Amino acid sequence: MATGDPSLPEAAISRVHTAGTAVAHQPLALRIEIACTGGLSCGNVPVQVRELRQGESPAVLAEGVAELEGAERATLELPITLERAGGRVVEIALAAPAGDRIPENDRRILTFNVARQRLRLLHVAGRPTYDVRSLRRWLKSDESVDLVAFFILRTDEDNPLTTDDSELALIPFPVDELFTEHLPSFDAVILQDIDAVAYRLAQHLPALERYVRAGGGLIMVGGPSSFAGGGYARSPLERVLPVTIGETDRPFELGEFVPRYTEVGRVAPVLLPLRELVSEDLPRMVGSNTLGPAREDAIVLWEHPERRAGSAPMPVLALGDAGDGRAIALAVDGTHELAFSEFAERTAGRAYGALWDGLLGWLMRDPRYEAARVQLAGPCIAGEETRVRVTRLPGTEGELELTVEPLGPEGAPRIEKRAAMPASGSVVVDVGPLAPGGYSAHARVGKAPATRFDFACERGGSAWGDSRPDAARLERIARASGGRFVRHDRVEALPLPPPTEVATLREVVPVLPPWVWALCAAAALGWHWIERRKSGFA
């Protein structure tokens, strides 16, 4: 039934098209169709595209104006660039003119699965140690890595406080350019044994913190000039590391030791390739940085067998989330022992690649190194029940802890759920009705590292993009389904359903047909006559 012909006065985002696949660091064109119906005077309608991020305010990706003066429809093309791979939640919103009747279709919230062509890394090292050279050599051998590496070559006579970069490197170190203009173009930054004060990195540490919270990856590798020895204690960068850095007179200890796996490290998928090669054996390493306790939400994979950080063993390898990004702290500069040593001969040096494959994979949210798979069990429609499916990977055991929180600045209320993982390894958790917006789900199975999944939740979606009554479509649907189509003013034309007749019937059915009864009577008489003759009666 068509209830009316006039359209409501409204402005709406009717459709959003993309030209191709979303690729990190590559421009993606959005074709946005804006509709203005019902006699509403729209004029020029501002449109804004923003990326929703965890713990941060939305980042504006593009802005434009849809020219609807005297027209019902306009198409606006806006190029956006998403810097991070994986699931990214994008909000497209228009500034509706006065008189708009349906505000729900003034905003679209979409999830983009962003691919990555190559992993773009920035590797900055303070001295050419064996560990630095081993990592650089391995990164350069990987065709999937686009590496930008800087080594600051120094001698004993160099003045670390000089302003002349020619004394400190073969080429000028473009520290300002790298950490201001080009920093967002990198997927991850590796800081290895570099002094933040001597090389003027200290002034760029706030930018590095913002970079990580906006979705970038960070690895700080140990050495005499890393962590406390490099001036990173109580710096903005410390706030995104998974460990605390206390100021100490002995930032680096030279004693030999063998790192020890923690209980989490024995089951974490990030170290599974390494454990498959050498089990839980690790080579003897020389020297370790002095670190404080791990942060509350961090995961410690290796610990020092002798040194302490507060009441717990000192972390050697720890990882954790920071806003939209991730960070890893590795407090040794001896991982090259996995590539070049008697220990490395057991695997022909493959253990070194297995370790760094896992660390970089976890940093970039590679599903192979996550402890669980998280996805929606159905579409997320605002105001209706939302269900999240979590599937654990083999080797991870324990109770599921699921947290769902809105994307945006910190402080928003979160939903926390617990569930037992069945033998099948998959469970569906009801998180209740959600408001329109972007959300981040964090699932942790047992003691394994948490897995993150971002998703969008809309009230109407594309179905609300065009609210105009479409009588012709209703008529086609009725005809195809064998129904009838009428307008609201012709309801009397609908045929009434046939009347219902109620009839009461009584039917008597004998237990057996008459001939059966006659046969039974004849058989009984015959039997009686035979018995009388046997007894001598006439």
Q: Which tens digit of pLDDT belongs to each residue from 231-260? A: 999 999 999 999 999 888 899 999 999 999
Count helices and strands in the chain by DSSP H and E runs: 7, 24
Which domains, from first to last, does the chain contain?
Answer: 10-115 (2.60.40.2550), 119-363 (3.40.50.880)
Strand partners, 123: 149, 190
> Which three-class secondary structure string do you get for 423-454?
CCCEEEEEEEECCCEEEEEEEEECCCCCEEEE
User: How far is the C-alpha of 222 from the C-alpha of 375, rounded, in Å?
Assistant: 36
Of 130, 122, 200, residue with least CA distance to 160 = 200
User: How far is the C-alpha of 314 from the C-alpha of 302, rounded, in Å?
Assistant: 9
b/e per residue, 211-233, with b = 16+ CB within 10 A? Answer: bbbbbbbbbbbbbbbbbbbbbbb
User: How far is the C-alpha of 123 from the C-alpha of 193, rounded, in Å?
Assistant: 11
For 330, the 3-state DSSP assignment is strand
User: How far is the C-alpha of 83 from the C-alpha of 214, rounded, in Å?
Assistant: 9
pLDDT value for 509: 80
pLDDT value for 430: 96
210: its two tokens: 């913002």
**Angle value at C-alpha 247, between 241 and 250, nearest 5 degrees:** 110
User: How far is the C-alpha of 123 from the C-alpha of 148, rounded, in Å?
Assistant: 6
Of 264, 241, 443, residue with least CA distance to 322 = 241
pLDDT value for 37: 83
Of 248, 366, 267, residue with least CA distance to 308 = 248
Helices (H), 23-152: 130-141
CB 134 within 8 A of CB 336: yes
CB 167 within 8 A of CB 152: no
pLDDT value for 391: 93
User: How far is the C-alpha of 392 from the C-alpha of 5, rounded, in Å?
Assistant: 52
53: its two tokens: 């991020």
User: How far is the C-alpha of 56 from the C-alpha of 210, rounded, in Å?
Assistant: 9
CB 126 within 8 A of CB 194: yes
pLDDT in single tens digits along all 538 residues of the chain: 666 656 778 888 989 998 788 999 899 999 999 988 887 888 889 999 999 998 889 999 999 999 888 788 899 999 999 988 889 999 999 998 888 888 888 999 999 999 888 899 999 998 888 999 999 999 999 888 999 988 766 544 455 555 555 445 555 567 778 888 889 899 999 999 999 888 788 889 999 999 999 899 999 999 999 999 999 999 999 999 999 998 888 999 999 999 999 999 998 899 999 999 999 999 999 999 999 999 988 999 999 999 999 889 999 999 999 988 999 999 999 999 999 888 888 888 899 999 999 999 999 998 889 889 999 999 999 999 999 999 988 777 889 999 999 998 877 789 999 999 888 889 999 999 999 999 999 999 988 888 999 999 998 777 776 766 667 778 788 888 888 878 777 777 777 778 888 877 778 888 888 888 889 989 998 888 888 888 777 5
